A and B are shown apart, each in its own frame.
Chain A
């Protein structure tokens, strides 16, 4: 897939009218802190009175993206933006990148190590589930530099 293409073929509407924006960072390899960014995002969405079903969907995509950053990247910058019509999450990491995005998006494909699998990771479902759960999803990756995920969930 060429850089900038979205695997749902939709141009993402990064909102100009964001009523809320916050940045977080994730440290690669830090299993103990894993999930803490997703948890902060959840608390913010609750404070913004976002509907519970949408929060649970947001947690699927946030947790999967956060765990991939912990498992595979060195570091990752996360941007949460909330506008009147959508919750948008960007995960931009510095890491090995993904050589074959089509393969990585395939259910069941995983390069997780034995140690990761022993922790319950490595089903190869993270990326496919993010794509299924988000209303819009895009992934770009440069080998040796990093991977950027952009996901949006519409507020009903």
Chain B
């Protein structure tokens, strides 16, 4: 499914629609430790986290992730939003917690396996 369709079906908040907006995405990952995500992140993966600092954008950009979803109603810091715009990284949000969000994304065909 295209990222923009996932956004609509999972009712995600859009902080910034980046380069990946029209791309197909079928892979997800959840993590709040940047060392874990930089090591495990794969191209075109959607990353769910509760981290809101600007450093998440560099991680997504360096690993070519499809985008970042801030779970549990977390809002990006101003610096994070500025970085997402500058790097053109898709930055999304959800009121759901990580587990609830994963459940929903699995229903939309976003899996944990490459």
Contact = CB atoms under 8 A, between A and B. Distances in A.
Interface in A90-147: 118-126, 129, 133
A120 B33 contact: yes
A38 B36 contact: no
Contact of B43 (A42, A56, A60, A121): A56
B34 interface: yes
Interface in A47-87: 52, 56, 59-60, 62-64, 67
Nearest to B31: A120
Contact of A35 (B32, B33, B58): B58
A31 B54 contact: yes
How many B residues touch the partner, as a band? Answer: 20 to 34
A contact patch SS = helix
Interface residues of A, number: 27
Nearest to A124: B35
Contact of B38 (A39, A59, A118): A59
B62 A39 contact: yes
B33 A63 contact: no
B111 to A, nearest CB: 20
A123 B33 contact: yes
A60 B39 contact: yes
Contacts of B42: 56
B43 A39 contact: no
A35 B38 CA distance: 11
A114 to B, nearest CB: 13
Contacts of B63: 56, 59
Contacts of B55: 31, 34-35, 67, 119-121
Interface of A: 31-32, 34-36, 38-39, 42, 52, 56, 59-60, 62-64, 67, 118-126, 129, 133
Interface of B: 32-36, 38-39, 42-43, 49, 51, 53-59, 61-64, 79
Given A63-B38, A120-B34, A122-B33, 4 more contacts: A32-B79, A38-B58, A59-B38, A119-B53
19 contacts: A34-B55, A34-B58, A35-B55, A35-B58, A38-B58, A39-B61, A56-B64, A59-B62, A63-B58, A64-B38, A120-B32, A120-B53, A121-B34, A121-B35, A121-B55, A125-B33, A125-B39, A129-B35, A133-B39
